Chain A
Amino acid sequence: MRNSLLRRMTLVCGISALVLTAMPAHSAEAVKLGVGLSMTGPLAFLSQQMLQGMKAAVDNVNKSGGVGGGRIIDLVVRDHKGVPSEAVAVTKRLIEEDKVAIVDIDLPSTVAIAAEAVTKESKVPQIAGFTFAPAAVKQGNPYFFRACTNADLIADALARSIIDEPNNKTIAMLAPNDDYGRSAIQALTAALERLNGPKVLYADYYERTQSDFSAILLKMKSLNPDSLFIDVRYPASITVLKQMVEVGLKKPLFSSVNFYNAKLAEQAGPMMEGAQLSVAWAPVFDDAASVEFKNAYEAMFKQTPDDSASLGWTVVMVAAHALKSAGGTDSESIRKALLNINYIGPQGVVKFDSNGEANVAAHVLRFKDGRYQLVR
């Protein structure tokens, strides 16, 4: 009986080994774009939206002739759960096993930075579509390109709105205790200082697992700032808004794309009235690129796209344009093509400087009467 157990185990191991070594064949005419996102974890929702934007772009590109020479784009999507070490594994897998031409590892910024160690060594182009951390372009990786806006530009846009708010001398801030939150507050504080804006009385960070904010809101209330920067993710944002009412804290509110959320508007609309938030994009944009994007997305998914979807669309478009003008799928040609690219997307012009930074400006919306309106 023991021996049959051993035999069975050997059989299982043998089959597993076969499965491991057998690779599915890929069609030769597709150029692969490797995507690593946080399909599980706190950024799953944003990842989902971004992926949809990407798919809409892929569809659009392939329908209009692909990337030249009859080739179409193929997306290979893998989940890194938002963990940097997993992202490293995912990047290696995309490069070595899936043999992609370009990688895009996003959400949160730490995974993009972690992936840069791999793309730098393997010399594979990496385009970031949703990575705001300023440090991302400072890793000395000539293959890294940031196609979206960054924390400094976001802070700059919002800072101007904060300064425009009348009687605004002091501000208190709250953001998540992760790299996004810390860079957001760091950048905003620096921008306000640079532009002689309101003084930052207090800044604190909340843990992802935190559910009760009353203590910190009470602290903020006791300091009596003139305005608040509350950059809290959904659905904790609902709790925060509710608890602000509960402790009687009502001030002009500033936030980020985290407050740009249909469900949040639905459940906490009145509490958000008048809030201003920084975004990369919003459906109210009506320039040509945005219209094209919205039409394609709505045709495919029957719903209005959001900020994250637009970032997904942009990064695929940038990759596609580069592939078209590159002529080949080797890393050097793609890299050269990216350096020469000049693409007008829904968020604005994407043109990379020598550091791989596109310097795409951010925008500010105001939530008024239940709708988001463009401010700048």
Chain B
Amino acid sequence: MELEGQVRIPSGCAISAVVSKDLRPISGETVIKSMIPMHDRSNGLGGGFAGYGIYPDYKDFYAFHIFYDSRKAQEECEKYLKDHFEIVQAETIPTRKIPEINDVPLIWRYFIIPLTSQMLRLQVDEKEYTARCVMYINVHLDGAFVFSSGKNMGIFKAVGFPEDVGRFYQLDDYEGYEWTAHGRYPTNTPGWWGGAHPFGLLDYSVVHNGEISSYDANRRFIEMFGYKCTLQTDTEVITYIADYLLRKQKLSLKEMSSVIAASFWDTIDHKDPQEAKVQTYLRKIYSSLLITGPFSIILGFNGGLMALNDRLKLRSMVTARKGNTVYIASEEAAIRAMEPDVTNLYAPAGGEPFIVLTDEYEKEV
């Protein structure tokens, strides 16, 4: 059977997220709980989580989480890492032996910083350098797959039901101010861990429910800019689009949502003239990054998250709030599992970005 990346696998999913605007630490346990009532939205073939603010002691270092198929792949990859980064810490990611999670690869974590000499030689900034190295490993080094590469955040994923994956990675031992979670329902899968979600690049992580019909138009466009879609999944291409528009093109989150879930031309025409002008402009120049077909996504990053539905709202997604904590999930039941006593239940309209920023990040920007 072909591995993920050699074949395109559609899937349905469950997603959820929680973020504390005032950076109050939240245990990974909380977000695991949200996935239990949505059990039937997954089929045991992929689950995962992303936590932000989980590595405060190493917050200035890129945290690479890597799956290895073999010791040989690990040796080769570590040689590459040493040539390109200073490694301040290398360790296996602690896991709990449970019967539900099998065929475990080697799972390693590295805290690293780019070698300045190399960055100067390539005349790129730290993020671009790191992103290129991630891309190199994932495309060229057989048996090694970087599945998390941001600072002070980490992705944890595996083949299994999400609640089992959370227990497997001992997420109850981690605390962060923001979590996203994903349960996957692929139509078929070779059971490869790299194919589970969230998908991440630098500190961007994406969980996604849907099957986008624009996939190949998006993929072929984004690959012009140095990205290589190795997994053939929607989540991967959406992550690269977010990285391209936010980091490289320097769009705001709202502007990005006007690209990927652009309003219909008729709707744009009825907007306030200045707003209409900007949206028309963005649709014209980034037309190949419009995403069609059903999706609900949560894009996490250091400082907040953005939830977004496709413009027809073909996938469910609700949001809620309690105090300074904001919750998002495919189903209200998932939110109630995290916090029964929420207020402001709200289902964002198709194409309407739901942006939550931490107070600290809001002050910065």
Q: Do A and B assemble together?
A: no
Chain B positions near chain A (C-beta within 8 angstroms): none
